[in-house]
């Protein structure tokens, strides 16, 4: 913008000043007037030393962008990090503790009570069943009855025959043998294995 200031003769001063002084005075006044006009045209220009509050939040082709260093951006990143940590903590707190498998109850072992083979002699079927339980097999041979008890390793045959005037069959003989092979096994040893494999009975 071009501007000119015309200085007229100042009453009482210009007439007394020499021509060169008047020219210098006119130049000074012209500069002052030009400064006033430039200040008026500047409007809302940011004065030297002032900070533009919108610096760092410029627009490029209509799209806003930020250099990531503005306080607002840093606060958002911090809030997002805190929120993520809180969500993780809440998720961990909501988890149910792992269920521990129940410990199996210990069953007290029933002590083995040996039944002497001789104690079964002359007992009828009910008495033998009370001590040894029901046999795995029963068969009849005339007036005699034969019961068989088994363990994993041996078989015990119990023979009942009628005795005395009552004609009631009672245990008169027992025979033990291995279930596999031709080896021999002691009668009491086989009876002990059968008792152990079954619910113990008091002898």
Question: Structurally, how many domains does the chain consist of?
Answer: 2
Are the CB atoms for 146 and 138 separated by under 8 Å?
Answer: yes
Is 42 inside a domain boundary? no
Is 81 inside a domain boundary? no
In 3D space, the residue among 160, 140, 135 whose CA is nearest the CA of residue 150 turns out to be 135
pLDDT given at position 26: 67
Is 137 inside a domain boundary? yes
In 3D space, the residue among 129, 147, 128, 126 whose CA is nearest the CA of residue 137 turns out to be 147
- Rounded distance between C-alpha atoms, residue 114 and residue 202, angstroms: 8
pLDDT given at position 7: 46
- Domain housing 167: 121-197
pLDDT given at position 84: 77
- Rounded distance between C-alpha atoms, residue 6 and residue 197, angstroms: 136
Please list the ranges in the chain whose pLDDT falls under 50: 1-5, 7, 10, 13-14, 55-68, 200-203
Are the CB atoms for 170 and 86 separated by under 8 Å?
Answer: no
Is 170 inside a domain boundary? yes
CA 60 from centroid of its chain's CA atoms: 49
- Rounded distance between C-alpha atoms, residue 200 and residue 99, angstroms: 38
Is 103 inside a domain boundary? no
Burial of 158 (0-12, 13-18, 19+ CB in 10 A): buried
Are the CB atoms for 162 and 169 separated by under 8 Å?
Answer: yes
pLDDT, tens digit, for every residue of 94-123?
776 777 777 777 766 667 889 999 999 999
H-helix segments, 4-99: 19-42, 71-94
pLDDT given at position 15: 53
Is 92 inside a domain boundary? no
pTM of the model: 0.45
Is 46 inside a domain boundary? no
Number of neighbours of residue 115 by Cβ within 10 angstroms: 19
Is 74 inside a domain boundary? no
């Amino acid at each position: 913008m071009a501007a000119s200031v015309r200085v007229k003769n100042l009453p009482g001063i210009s007439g007394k000043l020499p021509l060169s002084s008047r020219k210098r005075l006119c130049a000074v006044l012209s500069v002052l007037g030009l400064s006033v006009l430039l200040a008026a045209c500047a409007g809302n220009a940011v004065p030297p030393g002032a900070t533009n509050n919108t610096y760092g939040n410029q627009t490029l082709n209509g799209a806003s962008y930020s250099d990531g260093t503005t306080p607002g951006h840093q606060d958002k990143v911090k809030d997002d990090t805190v929120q993520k940590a809180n969500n993780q903590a809440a998720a961990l707190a909501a988890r149910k503790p792992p269920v521990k498998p129940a410990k199996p109850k210990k069953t007290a072992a029933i002590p083995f009570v040996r039944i002497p083979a001789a104690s079964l002699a002359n007992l009828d079927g009910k008495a033998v069943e009370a001590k040894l339980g029901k046999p795995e097999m029963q068969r009849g041979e005339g007036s005699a009855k034969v019961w068989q008890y088994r363990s994993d390793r041996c078989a015990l045959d119990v023979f009942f025959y009628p005795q005395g005037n009552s004609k009631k069959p009672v245990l008169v003989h027992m025979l033990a043998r291995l279930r596999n092979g031709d080896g021999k096994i002691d009668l009491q040893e086989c009876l002990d294995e059968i008792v152990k494999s079954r619910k113990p009975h008091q002898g």
